[in-house]
Structure 1
C-alpha cells in the first residue's frame, strides 16, 4: 500500500490511526529454507496419500515439509497441482521441495513461471540457487545479480548479495527469524506533509476556516527473536506525531510498545500480543490503552480451492483510561476482524470486516448527555496494481457504521432534544507509490471522507492530500 506502508516490512499506517501487521509472502518461510537446507535422498518408504481436496492437500503438504517429511510433502503438493490448484504459493513450495530432494530441473520448472509475477525477485534468487547446485556458477550469479537489484525487497537483496559475496557458496548460516536464537529486525521511517481542508471535522453547514497544512513523522520497528521451528518472540514499537502549524490545538501524538508470541499451526500461524499505547491531543493526554490480542493466519482458507485466498481471524480486548481531563473516555473496547488477501498477477486485493464494541463512561454536562460508546462495523477493500518495477497505484473504498448505545440529549433552540446518534461514514482513498531505491519510496495519498449522521453537528466532509517519503531498514 503506497504512501504509508513499507511494503517489504509488513508495517502499515492508515490516515486515521496506526496498526502493525505482518503479512508474509505465501510460502516465504518455506522458500528461504532452500538456501539453508541440503538435498535429501529419496526414501523407499512412500506412504500413500488419501483422496482429499486440493486445498487440504496443499496445506498438508506445507505441514509435511515443516515436519521434515519431504517425500510426503512432494506427493501432497503434486496432488494439489494435478487436481487443478494454481497459485504462486503452490509453485514456490513445489520448487523448494524439488530442490531439497535434488530434483533441480523440476525445481527450475516450478520457479520459472513466477518470473512474470509480483514475486519475480524471489523466483530469480531461487533459480540462482538451482543453477548453483547444478554447477553453473556464472549463470547462477547472473540470477543473483538480478535478485539484488533496486526493485527487489530488502530481504531478498541481502540474501542475493551474500551469495555473490561468498563466491557462489550455499553453505551460509541461516538468518531466518524462525531459527533458534536468530534475530531479525525491521524498521520503518516516514516523513510526510499535506493539506487538510477540515481539520476540526466541522459540520458541512458551518463556517470554518480551520484548514491548513500539516506534517507527519512516523517511526516503527519490530524485532523477531527466533525460538526454532517457526516460533518467535515479537517486540514492536510505534511513534507517530502530527502537527498543524496554524491549528496547534489539533496536534496529536501516539506512542505504543508491545510484545507477542508467534507459533506455527500446520500451514497456519497463531500470534498473540500485549500492547500498551498512549494518545495525546492538543498537548493533553487523551487516553491510555492496554490491549490483548490474538490472530490466526492461514493460507488458502476459502472455497473454491483454486483461489487460494489468504485469510486472518483476529480478536482483541482493551482497557482504557482517559486523561485527567477526559475521564469520560474511561472504559473498554473489544471486538474482532476477518480479513482476506489475494495476489493475482500484478494485482493485490485485500478486504476486511471489523466489529467493535466501545464501552465508555460517556459525558454528561448539566442537562446534556453525549454517548461515547458506539457499536461499529467497518468494511474495507484495497486494490493495488504494480504498474512498473518502481510504480504502483491503488484505491481503498471504506464504509463504517456507528450506532451509539444511549440517546444524546442536547439543547437546541432552547429545547432539550433526545436523539440516538447513528453515523455512516464513506471514505475513499487513492494512492500511488514510487520506489526510489532498495530502501526508500515516495508516496502520494488523496483521501475524501463523507460522514453522515442523525445529529447535524456530526455531519461533515473532509479531504486530505499527503506526500510522504518512506524508508525500510
Structure 2
C-alpha cells in the first residue's frame, strides 16, 4: 500500500513541477538565442551556431531562430542546412526575404538557373523596395533583365499595307489591297497578391482600320481574370475570360472561355535560360446573325518553349485546335467551318546590340475539316473533306529607344494550299510603328 502511495505522490509532484520546468526551458532557450545572435554580431560563427542549435534542441520554435540559423549555416558553408531553414519561412511573412537568401545559396552552388528563379520571385512579389532592388541587381549580373512591375501597360500604333485582304485565290480576276492603321492597348497586373497566390487581371483592345475598305475593319475587346499559384520554379493558373469582336463595324461574335495551365523555368535543355508553358482553353462562341455558321465551341491545347543564350534567343510552339461549329448549309451546298488544326512554329531572335532585336518566325499549319463539303460544280455535286496546309514566314525588328519607347517593324507572308482551289491564297502584310511600355 505504501509503495503505491509514494508513486502517486511522485506523479503528482512531477505534474505540478512540469509547467515550472517548461518555463525554465523556454527561458533558457531564449537566453541561448540572444547569446547566439550576440556571438554572430561579434563574428564568432562557431559559438553562434552552437548556441542557436542548442536553442533549437530545447524545443524553441521561432522565425527569428530559423532565420538566424539559416544565415549561420550559409556563412559557414552548410548550404543544405541553410536551404532547409529558409524553406521553412516560405509560408510566412518572411517569404520574400527567404527567397532572396535561397537565391544567394543557389549562387554559391553555381546554380544560376535556381538563382534566377529565386530572385524573380523576389521581384515579382515586390513587397520590399530594398529587396526588390537587390534582386533586380542580381538578375542583371546573371544577364537577365528584371521582370516588369506587377502592373504593366502597353500601347502601340502602326501603319501597314496588306495585298490580299479578302483572301482571294490566285485565279481570281482581282484582289483587294489597302493600307491600314493598327492600334493595340493592353494592361495586366495583380488585383490581389499574398504569398504564393495572386489574382491577375488582363485587358486588351485592338483595332485595324483600312484606308478605304471599311467592310474589312476589325475591332476586338478582351478581358481575362486568372488565379495564379506559384510553387518554386512552377506557376499554375486557372481563369475565365471573354471577347467581343466586330467586323466591318458590325458585331461578329462573342466568346466566353475557361483556361488552365502551368509554366516553369526548370526546363532548360543545357545552359540556356528557358521557360516552358502548357495551357488548355475551352471557348463557347456566339456569332452574330450574319455569321451564325460559326456558333459553337472551340478548344485549344498550347505548348511553348522559349530560351535565350548569349545574344541569341529562340522558341518552339505547338498548338492543337478543335472546332465544333454549326457550319453553313444551303439548299444545295454544305460548308464546314469546323477544322481540326495543328500548328508548329519556330522562332529565332538575335541581339546585335542590347537595344536592337531582329528575328523571324516560320510556321506550318495543317487543317482537316471533319465534315465533308458539298459543292456545286459543272460536273454535278462534289463531296470532299477540305484539307488546308498553310505556310507562314515572318521577319521583325524591335529597336528600344529607352525603357518606355520602341520602334517596331515587320513583314509576314502566308501561303495557303487547299485541296479545294477556291481556298488557295497568298497574302503579305508589312507594318511599321511605335510601342509604349509603362
**Cα drift, residue 388 of structure 1:** 1.8
Structure 1 counterpart of 2:187: 221
Structure 1 length as normaliser, TM-score? 0.67
Q: In the alignment, is the contact (CA less than 8 A) between 2:374 and 2:382 conserved in 1? A: yes
CA distance in 2, matches of 1:95, 1:318: 32
Q: In the alignment, is the contact (CA less than 8 A) between 1:62 and 1:267 conserved in 2? A: no
Structure 2 counterpart of 1:25: none
**Cα drift, residue 90 of structure 1:** 3.0
Q: How does 1:408-447 map to 2 (within 5 A)?
A: 408-413=373-378, 415-447=380-412
Structure 1 counterpart of 2:433: 468
Structure 1 counterpart of 2:236: 270
State which of 400, 424, 433 in structure 2 corresponds to 1:459: 424
Q: How does 1:374-393 map to 2 (within 5 A)?
A: 374-393=339-358
- The alignment status of 1:208 with 2:171, answered yes or no, reads no
State the secondary structure of the residue aligned to 1:325: helix
- The alignment status of 1:90 with 2:56, answered yes or no, reads no
Q: In the alignment, is the contact (CA less than 8 A) between 2:304 and 2:317 conserved in 1? A: yes
State which of 68, 72, 75 in structure 2 corresponds to 1:41: 68
State which of 213, 225, 236 in structure 1 corresponds to 2:202: 236
Structure 2 counterpart of 1:4: none
State the secondary structure of the residue aligned to 2:290: coil
State the secondary structure of the residue aligned to 1:41: helix
**Cα drift, residue 223 of structure 1:** 2.8
State the secondary structure of the residue aligned to 1:326: helix
Structure 2 length as normaliser, TM-score? 0.72
Structure showing the higher helix proportion among its residues: 2
Superposed structure 1 runs of 4+ greater than 2 Å apart: 39-50, 60-82, 84-87, 89-97, 110-119, 301-304, 306-309
CA distance in 2, matches of 1:311, 1:229: 23
Q: How does 1:222-371 map to 2 (within 5 A)?
A: 222-301=188-267, 303=269, 306-307=271-272, 309-371=274-336
Q: In the alignment, is the contact (CA less than 8 A) between 2:307 and 2:313 conserved in 1? A: yes
Q: Alpha carbons of 1:72 and 1:191: their partners in 2 closer, same or farther (altered >3 Å)?
A: closer
Q: In the alignment, is the contact (CA less than 8 A) between 2:227 and 2:237 conserved in 1? A: yes
CA distance in 1, matches of 2:313, 2:304: 14
CA distance in 1, matches of 2:409, 2:352: 15
State the secondary structure of the residue aligned to 2:293: helix
**Per-residue displacement from partner, 1:117-176 (whole Å, max 9, x unpaired)?**
353xx5xxxxxxxxxxxxxxxxxxxxxxxxxxxxxx875xxxxxxxxxxxxxxxxxxxxx
Q: Alpha carbons of 1:429 and 1:61: their partners in 2 closer, same or farther (altered >3 Å)?
A: farther
Structure 2 counterpart of 1:405: 370
CA distance in 1, matches of 2:121, 2:283: 41
Gaps of 5+ in 1: 1-38, 51-57, 98-107, 123-152, 156-176, 178-184
Structure 1 counterpart of 2:3: none
* Count of residue pairs brought into register by the alignment: 356
Q: In the alignment, is the contact (CA less than 8 A) between 1:348 and 1:384 conserved in 2? A: yes
Q: Alpha carbons of 1:302 and 1:433: their partners in 2 closer, same or farther (altered >3 Å)?
A: closer
CA distance in 2, matches of 1:333, 1:413: 35
| Higher RCO (C-alpha under 8 Å, 6+ residues apart) | 1
CA distance in 2, matches of 1:229, 1:246: 53
Structure 1 counterpart of 2:54: none
State which of 359, 377, 399 in structure 2 corresponds to 1:394: 359
State the secondary structure of the residue aligned to 2:68: coil
**Cα drift, residue 338 of structure 1:** 1.0
Q: Alpha carbons of 1:111 and 1:279: their partners in 2 closer, same or farther (altered >3 Å)?
A: closer
CA distance in 2, matches of 1:308, 1:188: 25
State the secondary structure of the residue aligned to 2:353: coil
CA distance in 2, matches of 1:217, 1:113: 33
Gaps of 5+ in 2: 1-65, 123-133
Q: In the alignment, is the contact (CA less than 8 A) between 2:201 and 2:226 conserved in 1? A: yes
Q: Alpha carbons of 1:196 and 1:91: their partners in 2 closer, same or farther (altered >3 Å)?
A: closer
**Cα drift, residue 278 of structure 1:** 1.2
Q: In the alignment, is the contact (CA less than 8 A) between 1:197 and 1:463 conserved in 2? A: yes
